[in-house]
Structure formats: C-alpha cells, structure tokens
Amino acid sequence: MINRLIASTLPLLPKRFVWLFSRSYIAGETVEDAMSACQTLNADGIKTTIDILGEFIHNLDEAEKNRDEYLSLIDIAQRTGIDGNYSVKPTMFGLLINAEACYSHIRRIVAKAASYGNFIRIDMEDSKCVDLEMNLFRRLKTELPENVGLVVQAYLRRTLKDLKDLMDLHTPTIPLNYRLCKGIYAEPGHIAFQRHDEINAHFLEDLEFMFRNGVYPGIATHDRSLVDGALALIDKYKIPRDRYEFQMLYGVAPELRRSLIEAGHTLRVYVPYGRHWFGYSTRRLKENPKIVNSIVKSLLLSR
C-alpha cells in the first residue's frame, strides 16, 4: 500500500526529486552515461540492449531528430566496443502520425545496425499500435531478416495467434527472434488477461510454442516463478544455451540476474537513457510499485 502511494505520488513531485528514485534503473540522460552503464554490465558478462527514451511524438520533425540520435548512438556504441544491440519504440518515429515515414526512419536504423552485423528490436506498445507494429516488423524482417526482432506481450489475448501467423517468416537458419514479456500497458479485459496467474500461464504457453518451433526467445521477466518455468521448459526440450537468453531491466532483480549468469545462461539487460526519462520513470513505478522498496534501500545505502 505504501509503495503504491509513493509510486502514484511521484509524478506530482519536482523532477529533481523523482530522479532520486529513477537513477537506479535509468542509465542517465546522455549517450556517455549509457556507454558507461553498458561497459560495466559487459564487464560482468552481461549483454545489453540500449534504448533512447521517448515515445508518442507530436510531429515528424521530432521523428527525424530521434532517427539521427539512434544513428549516432549505433556508431558510438560500435566504436566503444559494446556487446549489445538496440531497442526502438515505433511511436518515437511517428507510427501514429505517418506509418510510412516511421517505416523509412526505422529501416535506416536497422540498415545502420546491419552494416555492423548488429540487431534492432522493435518494441511493442499499447493495443492501438499492435497491428501497425506487426506490419512494420513483417516488412523489415522480409528485407533485413538477420537484423530485426520484435517484442510480444503475453498478457494480450491475441499473442499466441500472432506468433502462429508470423511463422511464415521463420527459417531454421534465420529464426524469428522475440522478446517475450508480460506486458506493461493498461488494457481492458477483452484485450488483455488481467489476473497474475492467467498472464503467467500464457507467458509460459507462448514460450513453449517458441521452443517447439525453433524460435529464439528473449525471456524477459523478473518473476522467479516464470524463470523457474522457463528453466523447466529448457530442460524439457533440451534447448541449447545459444538458442535463448534471459532479459531484465536495468537496475532490477540483481540477485536473480546473478544466479542466472552463474548458472551459465545468457543474460541481456535493457539499458534506457535520455532526456525523456521522467515519463518512463513514473510509468515504471506505477506499473511495479515493488520497485520502490529496492530503490529506497539503494538510496539509504548510498548515503
């Protein structure tokens, strides 16, 4: 109850104060901050996916600026030697303003990553974006099959059907590559499962479909029960260590993260940064008030 109260109050407080709660799970405001965070994670044997914060822009001038910022980020990260890839949110490039312009911007970003032999993950946003983002992914996957992946959300009632519908893009030599997460946007019951147990059951159902069909999953969760369920499926289907990875948010569940690394599993951490950190911070805290506990502890220990 206290965590929920703190999380719901934060958006009303000064940004400087909110930053005290946010700095544990956001790399910073600059690309230099992101590089430093990634280098630290890489030194611990952890791969990264870098995300520039921002979404739901209002005009296409912003989309061009965001595109150029990503193109610059990719050059800098490659020069720095970061072991990681990149995530993009299509609404940051005008998906809901002009879908063709959005495609053009993101294609340039994927092509830039491809020039280094690297990879772009298309984030999945709220339900009004799903069909547009599926179409965007399908188009990019056809053109640059080795260099683009997608996020799917287990709480959406449509997800398993979507996975089946996309299998025509899959080949054994260039498998589909998904980040499977629970889902973070507030959606009505006819669109998304609401109960924790339902969502977890469908998460594991989706993951089992991926394993049975040779899809490469990024298993994105901090839920110990889902990690255990995933490990059971890995054993059941005898999945090689190079055909999946676990993924987690920056600054969250360090002990669980460490246990997976020590057991020899590949782990990738999502590293967000940028000047638009405030909206991301307040949304994350409202979605997961339990984060407040760990943040408060880290604040006290840093004094």
Instruction: Say how far apart CA 162 and CA 194 lie, in whole Å.
Output: 19
Question: Tokens 């909206």 label which residue?
Answer: 279
Instruction: Say how far apart CA 132 and CA 8 lie, in whole Å.
Output: 31
23 belongs to the catalytic site: no
Catalytic residue of the set 123, 206, 268, 284: 123
243 belongs to the catalytic site: no
Partners of 87 in the beta sheet? 51, 121
Catalytic residue of the set 121, 179, 257, 284: 179
Q: Would you state the torsion angle of the CA atoms of residues 220, 94, 113, 239, taken in this order, to the nearest 10 degrees?
A: 20
Question: Residues with Cβ < 8 Å from 177, sequence gap 6 or more?
Answer: 119, 149, 150, 215, 216, 218
- Assess contact for 147 and 118: CB atoms under 8 A: yes
Nearest Cα to 103, choosing from 116, 111, 193? 111
Question: Tokens 């990719």 label which residue?
Answer: 74
Strands 84-88 and 47-52: parallel
Instruction: Say how far apart CA 218 and CA 150 lie, in whole Å.
Output: 10
Instruction: Say how far apart CA 194 and CA 154 lie, in whole Å.
Output: 11
Would you name the residues annotated as active-site residues? 123, 179
